Structure 1
Amino acid sequence: MYSKVKLTKMDKPWHLHACWLLVLLHLTSLPTEAQPQSNPKPNHNNNNKNMANEVEFSRRLAIFSINVYNQVSLLKPQENVVFSPFSIQTCAAMARLGAKKETAEELDRGLGLVSSDTKEIAESFHQVLATYEKSEILRIANKIFVMKGYTLREDFNKLLTEQFLSSAENLDFAQNTQAANTINQWAEQKTNHLIKNLIDPSVLSADSRLVLVNAIHFKGNWVHQFDAKATHPEPFYLNDVDSINVPMMNVKENFGYAELPELDATALHLPYKDSDLSMLIILPNSKTGLPQLEEKLRSTQLSEITKKLYQTKVVVKLPKFKAEFEMELTNVFQKLGMTRIFSDNANFSGMLESPEAMKVSAIIHKAFIEVNEQGTEAAAATGLVARTKRAIVSLTEPVKFSADHPFTYALVHQTKLPLFWGSVRQLDASSDTCPTSSLDHDEL
C-alpha cells in the first residue's frame, strides 16, 4: 500500500480514485426458487482468440463509457465530470453473475458485456484485473459484503474470488452505522484515504443482503514532466468572449497527436512513466465546441481516434485542475435500459444459497482527479508510444495543442480501454482546482 509520504501532493502528479457501490436489498421474506445454473461449454480459446476478446472487451467498454458520459453530461451540462466506467462496469458485472433471466439479459445489453455466459463474462474482466494485480501505479480492488447469517452460492462466490479477485465478508446490516463504517473504511483504505464516507448508514437496514464495492486508485508520473517554472497564469475560455486566468502548464515534447476533422477536434496522447497507461485529451477546435463534440462522440469508437495518433513535436498548454465527482447512478442505468434491477421483478437468485427476492436500492459512485506538473523525466515509457502508434518524426514546426477551453479526456489502458473519463468545462480563477461537482440523490 502507498504510504502517506508517497501520496503527498508533490508526489502525485496524477491521481484518480473511484469507488462504486451497489446495494441489493431484501424485498420479501418469501424465498424464491433458485434457477438452474447453465453449463457453458469449456473454453478452448487460443491466443489469437484471447487477443480478439480483449479487443472486443475494450471496444464495448468504450461504448459503455460514452453512453454513461453522455447521460451524466445531459444531467449536469455546466459541470466538470470525472468517473470510472471500468469501475462502474466491473461492479455491475459482479452483480450480473448472480442475475437470471430478463434481469441478466438487461444487464448484458446495458453494460455491453462480451457474452451472456457468466464464466466468459468473468474471464473478460479477469484479464484486466490480473494485469494490475501487483501494480504500484493502478490499484483495483473488489469486495462483497454479505448479511450476517447468509452464505453466497458456491459457483457465484468462486467466480468472484478467482476471476474478480474479490473476497466476501459478513456484516450485520441491521447495525447500520457500524456496517457503514466497515465498508467506508475498506473503501478509504483502498483509495489511500481520499474517498471518504462512501455510504451513509441510512442506506443500510435489516433488509439489506449484499453490498458490492469496487475501488480504483491511480498514481502516475508523466513521461515528460511539465516544468513548474513554465506554469503561468493564462486565459481559460468559458466561451467565445469570457475567460478567466488559471495556472497553465507548458511543455514541448514528442507526443502522439491527431487531427480529427470529422469531430472538428484534435487529440493528444500523454503517456505515464513505466506504464501502459496514458491520458488521451480530445480538444474541440471551437472554444464552445464541447457539446457538439460530445454529440459526435456518441457514434465514434475510441479506437477510431487512437489509431490516427502519430508521433510529432507538440507545444502543449494544459491547465492544472482538480475535481471531485459524486453521483447516484440509478437514473443513468435506467436511461441505458437497465430498469428491472430496481424493480420488484428483479431476479438475483444466483447469489445466495437461500435465494430471496432482491433488487438494487442504490448505485453510488465517487471519483477524484488531480493534474499538476509533477513527474520524472525518465523516458522508459516512450517505448510504449512507439509500439502503439505510428512512429513519425516531424521535420516541420511543432504543432500547438492549447487546452485553453473546455475539453474531454480519458485515462486509457493500452490506448484503447478507458479506465477513467471526464471533462473540464470550467476552472476556478482563484486556485488550481475545479469546483466540486455532484449529482443530487437521496442516498448520501
Structure 2
Amino acid sequence: MKYQSNTAREIFLQRRYGVQLGRRYVLAAASVMLIGVLGCSQISSNSERAIAESPSPRTEVPRINQPMTPDPKIIAANTKFGFKLFTEVQKQDQNQNIFVSPASVAMALAMTYNGASGSTQEKMAQTLELQGFSLEQINSTNAELAQLLTNPDEKVKLTIANSLWANQNIQFQPDFLQRNRDFYNAKVTNLNFAANDATNQINNWVKDNTQGKIEKIVEQIHPNQALFLINAIYFKGNWSREFDKNQTTDLPFYLPSGQQKQHPMMSQRGKYRYYETPEFQAVSLPYGKDGKISMYVFLPKENSSLAALQQNLNSENWQKWMGEFNQRQGLVRLPKFKMDYDVNLNDALTALGMGEAFTDKANFSGMGKNLSISEVKHKTFVEVNEEGTEAAAVTSVGIVRLSAVQEEPPFEMVVDRPFFTAIRDNQTGSILFMGSIVNPT
C-alpha cells in the first residue's frame, strides 16, 4: 500500500479533542493493557551506525495546542485483541501467574503490520481485530494514543519506546521504515548482526527503556535473522491514596489447590469505584492526582472461581462492566506481590489466526523480500506495594529471511551398464511394459 506519511500526519495532528468519549475509552484500554490479567530508505550500509535515530528513545509525539483523541473503534479493537490474547496465554499456563501487556504486543505487531501484504496482512488484521481500518487510521491512532498515555502526572510515569534493529546486509522498503519512524517514533538502527556485541546493544536499549526491570529480550541472533521490532513500556504509579504500611499484616491467602499460606496483605478503608455481581466483586484503585489510570481488581465470589470469571473475560463484558462502577464506601485488602513473566506468543497468535506469518507462505513484501516472523517474545515485570505499582513490558518480533530454494546442479547419467526400464501410463498408473537390459543390441 502506498502511504503518504506526511499528509496523514498533518491530518491526525489537526484533529480536535473529544474529552468525554476519548478519555472513557483510553482509561478502559489503559487499564486492561497495563494491568495485563485484569487491569492493548534502504538499509545496506556496512557500518554499525544508527540511521535517522529519534532524538529520544521514548515515544514523544509532538505536543500541539489542542490534544487529540484516538479513534475509539481502534481502541475497542485493541481491547478485544487483548482479551483474546490473554485467553490463549491462559490456556498455556493454567493455574499459573500470568501478567501480559496487550498494549505492548499490539504496538509491536502494528509496526510489523506496516510491512505485511496479501493474505498475511489480512490474517494479521483479523487477529488484531483491525479489519476495515486503513493503515493511516491504525498508525495515526497509535501515535495519538501514545501522546495521551504519556501525558505527565507528578505521581505517574508512563513511557513507551519503539525500536527497529536491522541486519545491515539486508535491504528494507524505505516506506516501511519511514512509517515506523513517523508514527511510532521508532529508533531505527543499522546493525552488524555478526558482531560480538550485537545482542548487548539491543538488550541495553531494552534495559534502559524499562528502568532496568527487564534486562534482555534477545538471547542470540541466528544467521538468517533480518530484523527485530521491539516495543517497551514502563509504568510507575503511586496510588491516589497510598496504603498505610502499618496496616499491612500477614493473613491467609488461599491457593487454587485449597491450601492456604500466610502472605502480606495491605489494608485500606475509603470510598472507591466499586461493582458487585453474584459472581464477583470489583474495585478500581486509581493512580496519581486525577486517576486517569487505575488498577481494576476482580475477585470471584467464594461460590465461584477464577476459571469461571475468565470464561466471561471478553471485550463486550469489559465495556459493560466499566459502566457499572459506582462510588461506595468499603474496605480493600490487597496482597503485595512482585513477579517476572515471559512467554513465547507464537502458539497463541497462531491460534488467533495469523499462523501464516510464521511460515514460508508469509508475505512481508511491504517490508522486504522473503521474510517471515520467527518468534514473538513477551516479557513483563510487576510489583504492587503500599506506595503503588511498578510495571514493565517488552515485546520483540523477530523477522528472519526465508531460506532460498536452492537449484540443484545439472546431473549426468551415463547408461553404460545393465539397467531396468518400464513403460507406464501416467494417467492410470498402469505399467504397460517393463524389462531389464543387460546387453543392448
TM-score of the pair, normalised by structure 1: 0.70
Out of 329, 351, 357, the residue aligned to residue 370 of structure 2 is 357
1:118-133 counterparts in 2 under 5 A?
118-133=135-150
1:34-53 counterparts in 2 under 5 A?
37=2, 47=16, 51=22
Out of 107, 111, 118, the residue aligned to residue 94 of structure 1 is 111
Tell me if the contact between 2:165 and 2:188 (Cα under 8 Å) persists in the aligned partners.
yes
With over 3 angstroms needed to count, the CA separation of the structure-2 counterparts of 1:361 and 1:126, relative to structure 1, is same
Counterpart of 2:144, as a letter, is Q
With over 3 angstroms needed to count, the CA separation of the structure-2 counterparts of 1:118 and 1:254, relative to structure 1, is same
1:22-421 counterparts in 2 under 5 A?
37=2, 47=16, 51=22, 54-113=71-130, 115-133=132-150, 135=152, 137-175=157-195, 177-201=196-220, 204-239=221-256, 241-261=258-278, 264-274=279-289, 276-286=292-302, 289-298=305-314, 300-351=316-367, 355-374=368-387
Tell me if the contact between 2:251 and 2:262 (Cα under 8 Å) persists in the aligned partners.
yes
**Aligned pair count?**
336
CA distance, structure 2, for counterparts of residue 190 and residue 233 of structure 1? 34
Moved more, 100-109 or 48-57: 48-57
CA distance, structure 2, for counterparts of residue 373 and residue 116 of structure 1? 42
1:423-434 counterparts in 2 under 5 A?
none
With over 3 angstroms needed to count, the CA separation of the structure-2 counterparts of 1:80 and 1:238, relative to structure 1, is same
Moved more, 207-216 or 58-67: 58-67
Tell me if the contact between 2:74 and 2:141 (Cα under 8 Å) persists in the aligned partners.
yes
CA-atom RMSD, angstroms?
A: 2.6
Deviation track 1:299-333 (CA, whole Å, cap 9, x = no partner) reads 64322111101111120010111111011110000
With over 3 angstroms needed to count, the CA separation of the structure-2 counterparts of 1:213 and 1:305, relative to structure 1, is same
CA distance, structure 2, for counterparts of residue 55 and residue 318 of structure 1? 32
With over 3 angstroms needed to count, the CA separation of the structure-2 counterparts of 1:54 and 1:265, relative to structure 1, is farther
CA distance, structure 2, for counterparts of residue 230 and residue 271 of structure 1? 19
Task: Report the CA distance between 1:375 and its aligned residue.
Answer: 5.3
Deviation track 1:140-183 (CA, whole Å, cap 9, x = no partner) reads 100001111445433222221121111200111133x4211111
Deviation track 1:319-377 (CA, whole Å, cap 9, x = no partner) reads 111111011110000010111110101111112xxx3100111111000100011259x
Task: Report the CA distance between 1:69 and its aligned residue.
Answer: 1.1
Instruction: Specify the structure having the higher radius of gyration (Cα).
Output: 2
Tell me if the contact between 1:325 and 1:367 (Cα under 8 Å) persists in the aligned partners.
yes
Tell me if the contact between 2:79 and 2:315 (Cα under 8 Å) persists in the aligned partners.
no
Task: Report the CA distance between 1:38 and its aligned residue.
Answer: 6.3
Tell me if the contact between 1:114 and 1:124 (Cα under 8 Å) persists in the aligned partners.
no
Which structure is richer in relative contact order (CA contacts within 8 A, separation 6 or more)? 1
Deviation track 1:379-406 (CA, whole Å, cap 9, x = no partner) reads xxxxxxxxxxxxxxxxxxxxxxxxxxxx
CA distance, structure 1, for counterparts of residue 378 and residue 258 of structure 2? 35
Cross-structure match for 1:25: none
CA distance, structure 2, for counterparts of residue 211 and residue 240 of structure 1? 41
Counterpart of 1:277, as a letter, is I
Cross-structure match for 1:394: none
Task: Report the CA distance between 1:239 and its aligned residue.
Answer: 4.5
CA distance, structure 1, for counterparts of residue 117 and residue 145 of structure 2? 25
Counterpart of 1:256, as a letter, is R
User: Unaligned stretches of 5+ in structure 1?
Assistant: 1-35, 377-410, 412-418, 421-444
Cross-structure match for 1:24: none
CA distance, structure 1, for counterparts of residue 233 and residue 283 of structure 2? 24
CA distance, structure 1, for counterparts of residue 124 and residue 75 of structure 2? 17
SS in 1 for 2:214: coil
CA distance, structure 2, for counterparts of residue 316 and residue 174 of structure 1? 53
SS in 2 for 1:81: coil
SS in 2 for 1:280: strand
